[in-house]
Amino acid sequence: MLTTRFTQEFGVRHPVVCGGMTGVGTAPLIAAVAEAGGLGFLTALTQPTPAALADEIKRVRDLTDQPFGVNLTILPTVAAVDYEEYRDVIVASGVPFVETAGSNPEPLLPYFHGAGMKVIHKATSVRHALKAERLGVDAVSIDGFEAAGHPGEDDVPGLVLIPAAAQRLSIPLIASGGIADASGLVAALALGADAVNMGTRFVATRESPVHEAVKQQIVTNDERSTVLVFRKFRNTARVVRNAVSEEILRIEADRGTDFSDIAHLASGKRGRQRVLAEGQTDDGMWWAGQSQGLITDIPSVGDLISTLVTDAELLITLRLNGLVSS
């Protein structure tokens, strides 16, 4: 058993997190993570309404009695989102954990802490992590440059970012980006993290609610199978390399273009429908990290977490201890 500050303070068996993922973080996956001893986060905005989120939280509780949380990401959107209603549903639900991302979490903290919830805030730099700590969050999940989604604008990989953050934070640190196996877990712990967050690895599991073709594509892809889009707009995002993301890059390269020229290609609705639901992996923009290069199978969540932790223990006790001589 791997025991860290994270497992002790958050009351979960293993230092493994499945953070919020749009279109992926739904009840079957999150319940499976909880049952396997990790900490999973439902993605609030995957649900079309706050009422639907309340129903999804109930679905998780019908599937497991283990702890889980809800992710609330606040970002600029084309269509207005009633974040206050989503927030209120989360508070009323009584879930023990919330993962915040996107904008400054300060306005949300009195509501979540007032309900006795622990808050993990996602950051992409040491300076943002330190600010979140000053605001009073209970843990920080820090995204290295390898991660899917929005890894920030500094391009700092985990090998530097994780220990840089660990040296300055006094609250638990969760490492994210490029982690998909036991070696990554052990490395993150050695760098000073208290747990790891995996996204792409959990997409390629049996309980993941995406089309089988998407899972198989992740297995087929390698570490070079991503591109960075939206750099021109200082909203850098790591997505799968395919026909749509390559077209976005070509349009971005033209000086005279703006976001409206790529909006139809970058549409989240298009990616969720054509790719995640229908399995047309080349017909929409979708998220995955460089950890694709480490993923070779599609296990159950239970088998994934069990193997991850068991192999990590073996690495620590056999390989690493064996490197030290008296």
Nearest to 238 by CA among 120, 157, 129: 157
Rounded Cα gap, residues 175 and 124, in angstroms: 10
- Residue range 186-191: average pLDDT? 98
- pTM for this predicted structure: 0.95
- Residue range 46-75: average pLDDT? 96
Tokens matching residue 142: 């820090």
Report which of residues 283 and 325 the model is more confident about: 283
pLDDT tens figures, 10-23: 999 999 999 999 99
Every domain of the chain and the residues it spans: 5-209+297-322, 226-287
Half-sphere exposure for 22 (CA within 13 Å, toward CB): 22
The number of residues making up the chain comes to 326
DSSP state of 103: S
Return the H-helix or E-strand segment holding 9.
helix 5-10
Nearest to 38 by CA among 50, 49, 25: 25
Give residue for tokens 């009584």: 94
Give residue for tokens 């026909």: 243
Rounded Cα gap, residues 103 and 72, in angstroms: 10
Residues 6+ apart with CB under 8 A from 229: 236, 237, 239, 245, 248, 249, 252, 262, 266, 285
Encode 210-244: b = buried (16+ Cβ within 10 Å), e = exposed.
Answer: bbeebbebbeebeeebbbebbebeeebbbbbbbeb
User: DSSP of 59-80, one letter per residue?
Assistant: HHHHH-SS--EEEEEE---SS-
Give residue for tokens 């923009």: 285
Rounded Cα gap, residues 284 and 241, in angstroms: 10
Specify the CATH architecture of the domain 5-209+297-322: Alpha-Beta Barrel (3.20)
Rounded Cα gap, residues 171 and 194, in angstroms: 9
CB 149 within 8 A of CB 135: no
pLDDT at 76 over 80: no
pLDDT tens figures, 197-230: 999 999 999 999 999 999 999 999 999 999 999 9
Q: What is the pLDDT of residue 325?
A: 74
- Residue range 55-84: average pLDDT? 91
Banded model confidence at residue 165, pLDDT cuts 50, 70, 90: very high
Banded model confidence at residue 64, pLDDT cuts 50, 70, 90: very high
Nearest to 266 by CA among 275, 255, 277: 275
